[in-house]
């Protein structure tokens, strides 16, 4: 099965080249893009099954043995992230095709959307499968290049300005990351993650802590962890709805994935756990208070995105199997639900002509299906029983109580308050945008939303419900993944079967 490992990276890259050549054939271009992402999803499912049954799937590129050669690794965490990310990117692509802007709109050039979107997908999969720090950096850089193109599609003044802010912040985090990579190699003589898990332990405590903080700083910027999250609410809302949706669902989670991977595999001693707990609590509270103050739907969702990153960092900071399992479960849940909500925001904009809550209302009467598509994921995000959001939060809060101590208990309180404020925000949006009579006309009531946009959104709403129905098996997978991450042995033995020091 190791021969399948390059496919989630290679297939989107080949698809990007082919769609660029097919720029004058939009129908074929669309078909190629959809087939590439469908194939990536299929491979990801196979890899997850293999990783769950038999342990990490490993492939060494170019015939050079590890740790010298480039290694691709799909353990349960990486494979699960691949499955969710490929499902989400496929649904968002279908949504974009239904919206029509990627093909026929006035502001989005046909030549670049599909190739760039597939390159973005390749960057995500590269980051998840990378078995060394340098290729993890490469994955982030592929993301940066592709996301800058996507966030500035159309070349409007607003998009260029916010895109520039996004690029400056991303380049800063990449510089910090690259510097940390160089220092890690200087200190240990390797960048292979499995070998680093052995060699970092031999370093002096101060050196190891400095390297840990540099990597954590770089990943925290990419994950939009407070106080390094101010760039996100200004950058995401100006992009086209499909772009905003995939950014919100995936890009910050790549940063969270990098934090989980490095904190468990490279720095398992928990030296920064207290710092992470403080940061997690502030991220939750500051983010949700920002959402309470917003009147634009996209900015509001951007702040909830920042807020709920705090739950994931909380689980990592506990350094227990239960906490880490809850964090992984919540990552899967949040990728799905946050993407869905941004797609719904795009539907609201199509139907009402605006996402400003002061300008819209009555959508539940003129577009009842749109009301359902908002209500279900909104309640899921708020953690209303029995949705997956409730189950994920419950798992994290139980892990916090089991850990004991002042900081975990404070985080339990902060998580509970954040969940209540999220419910308030969701209820406020429902009451204003969907329930009340409109203050300003929402447009011609006979306007029909494209079926493919509706279908893609329905598919993600259904996927969120599947996470609820299959929460038990999913928790089994995340618990196994968390146990393997904390023990480190399955990953290291799979990559270095000969025990190279």
Comparing 22-26, 31-35, 338-342, which segment has the lowest mean pLDDT?
Answer: 22-26
Q: Give the pLDDT band of residue 1 (cuts 50, 70, 90).
A: low
Q: What is the pLDDT of residues 185-237, one digit of tens each?
A: 999 999 999 999 989 988 999 999 999 999 999 999 999 999 888 888 877 77
Q: Pairing between strand 57-61 and 70-74?
A: antiparallel
**Lowest mean pLDDT across 67-71, 135-139, 169-173:** 67-71
Looking at residue 170, its pLDDT comes to 86
Our measurement of the distance from residue 97's CA atom to the centroid of its chain's CA atoms, rounded to an integer in Å, reads 22
Mean pLDDT of the chain: 88
What's the pTM?
0.92
Is residue 344 scored above 80 in pLDDT? yes
| 436 compared with 76, residue with greater pLDDT | 76
Q: For a pLDDT cut of 70, what percent of the chain falls above it?
A: 93
| pLDDT at residue 268 tops 50 | yes
**Residue 113 to residues 50, 93, 97, 153, 288: CA-CA distances in angstroms?**
33, 10, 11, 8, 32
Q: Give pLDDT, residue 441.
A: 46
Classify residue 107 by its DSSP letter: S
For the chain, the structural domain boundaries read: 272-487
**Three-class SS string for 159-223?**
HHHHHHHHHHHHHHHHHHHHHHHHHHHHHHCCCEHHHHHHHHHHCCHHHHHHHHHHHHHHHHHHH
Cα 269 from chain centroid?
26
| First CA to last CA distance, the chain | 26
pLDDT at 178 over 50: yes
pLDDT band at 106 (very low <50, low <70, confident <90, very high): very low
CA 165 to CA 170: how far, in whole Å?
A: 9
Q: Which residue has the higher pLDDT, 18 or 447?
A: 18
The DSSP symbol for 247 reads: I
């Amino acid at each position: 099965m190791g021969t399948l490992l390059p496919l989630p990276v290679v297939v989107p890259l080949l698809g990007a080249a082919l769609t660029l050549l097919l720029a004058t054939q939009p129908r074929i271009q669309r078909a190629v893009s959809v087939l590439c992402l469908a194939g990536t999803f299929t491979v990801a499912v196979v890899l997850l099954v293999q990783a769950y049954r038999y342990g990490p799937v490993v492939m060494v590129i170019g015939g050079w043995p590890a740790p010298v050669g480039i290694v691709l690794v799909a353990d349960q965490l990486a494979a699960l992230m691949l499955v969710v990310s490929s499902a989400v990117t496929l649904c968002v692509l279908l949504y974009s095709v239904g919206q029509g802007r990627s093909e026929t709109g006035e502001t989005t050039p046909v030549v670049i959307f599909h190739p760039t979107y597939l390159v973005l997908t390749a960057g995500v999969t590269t980051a998840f499968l990378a078995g060394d720090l340098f290729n993890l950096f490469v994955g982030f850089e592929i993301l940066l290049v592709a996301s800058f193109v996507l966030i500035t599609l159309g070349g409007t003044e607003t998009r260029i300005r916010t895109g520039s802010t996004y690029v400056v912040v991303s380049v800063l985090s990449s510089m910090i990351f690259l510097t940390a990579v160089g220092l890690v190699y200087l200190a240990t003589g390797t960048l292979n993650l499995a070998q680093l898990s052995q060699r970092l332990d031999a370093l002096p405590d101060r050196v190891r802590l400095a390297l840990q903080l540099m990597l954590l700083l770089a990943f925290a910027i990419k994950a939009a962890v407070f106080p390094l999250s101010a760039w996100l609410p200004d950058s995401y809302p100006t992009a086209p709805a499909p772009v905003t949706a995939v950014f919100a669902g995936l890009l910050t989670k790549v940063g969270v994935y990098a934090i989980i991977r490095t904190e468990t595999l490279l720095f398992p001693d928990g030296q920064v756990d207290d710092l992470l707990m403080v940061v997690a609590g502030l991220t939750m509270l500051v983010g949700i208070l920002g959402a309470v103050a917003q009147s634009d739907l996209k900015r509001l969702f951007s702040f909830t995105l920042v807020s709920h990153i705090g739950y994931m960092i909380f689980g990592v900071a506990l350094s227990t199997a239960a906490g880490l399992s809850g964090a992984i479960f919540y990552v899967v849940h949040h990728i799905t639900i946050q993407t869905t909500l941004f797609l719904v925001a795009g539907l609201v904009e199509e139907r009402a002509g605006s996402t400003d809550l002061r300008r819209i209302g009555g959508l539940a009467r003129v577009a009842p299906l749109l009301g359902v598509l908002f209500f279900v994921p909104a309640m899921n995000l708020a953690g209303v029983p029995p949705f997956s959001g409730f189950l994920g939060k419950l798992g994290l809060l139980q892990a916090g109580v089991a850990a004991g101590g002042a900081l975990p208990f404070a985080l339990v309180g902060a998580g509970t308050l954040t969940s209540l404020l999220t419910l308030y925000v969701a209820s406020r949006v429902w009451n204003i945008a969907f329930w009340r009579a409109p203050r300003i006309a929402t447009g011609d009531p006979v306007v029909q939303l494209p079926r493919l946009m509706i279908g893609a959104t329905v598919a993600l709403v259904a996927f969120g419900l599947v996470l609820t129905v299959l929460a038990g098996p999913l928790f089994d997978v995340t618990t196994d993944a968390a146990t393997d991450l904390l023990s480190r042995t399955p990953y290291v033995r799979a990559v270095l079967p000969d025990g190279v020091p």
